[in-house]
Every structure is written in C-alpha cells, then in structure tokens.
Amino acid sequence: MKLSLFKSLFEKLTNFKSNRFHPLVWINGDPIIGNNVYIGGMSEVNATGCKVVIGDNCDISSFVAINAADSHKLTIGISQEVERKDIIIEHNVFIGSHSVVKGGAHIGHHSVIAAGSVVDARDIPPYSLVIGNPMIVKAGYYLDSCKQVKADDSA
C-alpha cells in the first residue's frame, strides 16, 4: 500500500490530523512548533484548550507524550473540568523515548530529558538534564559542554 493511501485512510479512521512529522504522530489543538523539529512516531502533542510551544531544533523521540491536559481530578470526582496548563519547550531540547511532559512544564533551552522521564509542572533551567520519575533535575549539567563547543566553533 502506498504511504499516501495509508495516511489518507488512517486520518479518516482516527482523529490523527495530517502533520509534517510522521503519520503516527498525534497532534491535537494548535501547538506552535518551531523549525527543524523532529517528532518520532507514536508521539502525542496535546495542546487542546491551552498553549504548547516547541522551539526550534528540538528532537522528540518516539513514544513521547506532551500533554497539557490532566483529567484525573475530573475522573475521581473532585473537579468538574479537565485541568489544562501551558507547556513551553525552548530551543535545542532533546526528549528521550517514552517520556511524558505534563502541563505547566517549562523546559529551558539546551536541556535533555532522559528516556522514560516524567517532567512535572515546573521550570527547568537551561542546559539541564532531567532524569526519572519522580524527576531529578541536574541544573546546568550541559552548561560547560555547550560553552566548550561554542568556544571551539569561534576559534
């Protein structure tokens, strides 16, 4: 089966909208996605009812959920609505496979989210490494490495 036919049938049978990444990337709402961004298959970007921004030069692996909506309080009966919080992912961020970025997260530029990590609603400083669930933030982990690369480039 030709890819174009598969994409057409898949879009008709699901609510996956056509996108510039991969036919199995699920994008809801209207996220702002920068230039030179890669999003791997089976990943989700949910910007329904709020703002999700992904900066330039980001690499988002397969099986990543970037989801600004949280329905657990609605489901257990302690809220009447789905909670939605904005997500900001600055430029040059890598997000490893099987990671989750939750509403309210703000990931600083040149940061790495290790595979399988869950990023909670908080500010992650630039050049950080985020590991695990619950997340551990190693602020500035890549700062010296990036400075060295920039120094080498200008030499």
Q: Is residue 138 part of a domain?
A: yes
Q: Is residue 33 part of a domain?
A: yes
Q: Are 37 and 25 in contact (CB under 8 A)?
A: no
Number of domains in the chain: 1
Give 94's strand partners.
59, 112
pLDDT in tens, 61-108: 999 999 999 999 999 999 999 999 999 999 999 999 999 999 999 999
Phi first, then psi: what are they for 119, rounded to 5°? -95, 115
Phi first, then psi: what are they for 150, rounded to 5°? -65, -40
What is the pLDDT, as a whole number, of residue 5?
A: 87
Instruction: Indicate whether 3 pLDDT > 80.
Output: no
Q: Is residue 62 part of a domain?
A: yes
What is the pLDDT, as a whole number, of residue 147?
A: 78
User: What CATH number does residue 19 fall under?
Assistant: 2.160.10.10
Mean pLDDT of the residues in the chain = 93
**Residue 62 domain boundaries:** 14-154
